[in-house]
Chains A and B, each alone.
Chain A
Amino acid sequence: DADVTQTPRNRITKTGKRIMLECSQTKGHDRMYWYRQDPGLGLRLIYYSFDVKDINKGEISDGYSVSRQAQAKFSLSLESAIPNQTALYFCATSDFNRELAGMYQETQYFGPGTRLLVL
Chain B
Amino acid sequence: AQSVTQLGSHVSVSEGALVLLRCNYSSSVPPYLFWYVQYPNQGLQLLLKYTSAATLVKGINGFEAEFKKSETSFHLTKPSAHMRDAAEYFCAVSPGGYQKVTFGTGTKLQVIP
- Residues on A lying within 8 angstroms of B by beta carbon are 4, 31, 33, 40-45, 48, 56, 58, 90, 92, 94, 103-113
Top 3 closest pairs, chain A to chain B, by CB: A110-B43, A42-B103, A43-B103
B7 to chain A minimum Cβ distance, whole angstroms, is 14
B90 x A33 contact (CB < 8 A): no
Of the candidates B42, B44, B51, B104, the one whose C-beta lies within 8 Å of that of A103 is: B51
B105 at the interface (CB under 8 A from A): yes
Given contacts A43-B90, A104-B97, contact A112 B9 (CB under 8 A): no
| B interface residue count range (under 10 / 10 to 19 / 20 to 34 / 35 or more) | 20 to 34
17 pairs, CB–CB < 8 Å, chain A vs chain B: A40-B9, A40-B105, A42-B4, A42-B103, A42-B104, A43-B44, A43-B90, A45-B99, A58-B99, A92-B44, A103-B51, A103-B52, A104-B97, A107-B49, A108-B98, A110-B43, A110-B44
A110 x B101 contact (CB < 8 A): no
B28 at the interface (CB under 8 A from A): no
Q: CA–CA, A33 to B99, complex, Å?
A: 8
B89 to chain A minimum Cβ distance, whole angstroms, is 11
Q: How many A-B residue pairs have CB under 8 A?
A: 55
Of the candidates A33, A42, A104, the one whose C-beta lies within 8 Å of that of B105 is: A42
- Residues on B lying within 8 angstroms of A by beta carbon are 4, 9, 32, 41-46, 49, 51-52, 90, 94, 96-99, 101, 103-106
B44 to chain A minimum Cβ distance, whole angstroms, is 4
Q: With a CB–CB cut-off of 8 A, which chain A residues contact B42?
A: 112-113
A4 x B105 contact (CB < 8 A): no
Q: With a CB–CB cut-off of 8 A, which chain A residues contact B105?
A: 40-42
Q: With a CB–CB cut-off of 8 A, which chain B residues contact A106?
A: 97-98
A45 x B101 contact (CB < 8 A): yes
A42 x B98 contact (CB < 8 A): no
Nearest A-chain residue to B100, judged by Cβ: A45
Q: With a CB–CB cut-off of 8 A, which chain B residues contact A111?
A: 43
A105 x B51 contact (CB < 8 A): yes
Q: With a CB–CB cut-off of 8 A, which chain A residues contact B41?
A: 112-113
Q: With a CB–CB cut-off of 8 A, which chain B residues contact A109?
A: 46
Nearest B-chain residue to A94, judged by Cβ: B98
